Structure 1
Amino acid sequence: MKKLPLLMTGLLTLVTVGLVGTHSATTAHASSSKLNDYISSQDIKPASITKSIWSGFPKNKYRNGYGKPEGVVVHETANPSSTIYNEIAYMKKNYNNAFVHSFVDASRIINIANTNYLALGVGYPGNARFVQFEQIEVHSKSAFAHEIANAAWYTAYLLHEYNLKPNDAAYDGKGTVWSHNAVSKTLGGSSHTDPVGYYSSNGKKYFGQAYTMAQFYTLVKAYYNSGTSSSSSSAA
Structure 2
Amino acid sequence: MPGCTVTRYPDSTVIKKGRRVTPHERPALELAAQLNLPVPRVHETQVEASPGEHLIRMDFIPGSPLDEIWPTVTTEEKDSICVQLRNMLTAMRAAPWETGVIGSCSGGAARDLRTYTDYTDGPYNDEAAFNESFYLDLLKGTPRLVRSALLQQLRDDHRIVFSHGDIVQHNILVENGKVTGLIDWEYAGWYPEHWDYIKFFDRPCKHRDWRDRADMIFPETYGRELAWHQGILRWQRP
Normalised TM-score (structure 2): 0.28
Q: Please state which structure has a larger fraction of its residues in strand.
A: 2
Q: Which has the higher contact order (CA 8 A, sep 6+)?
A: 1
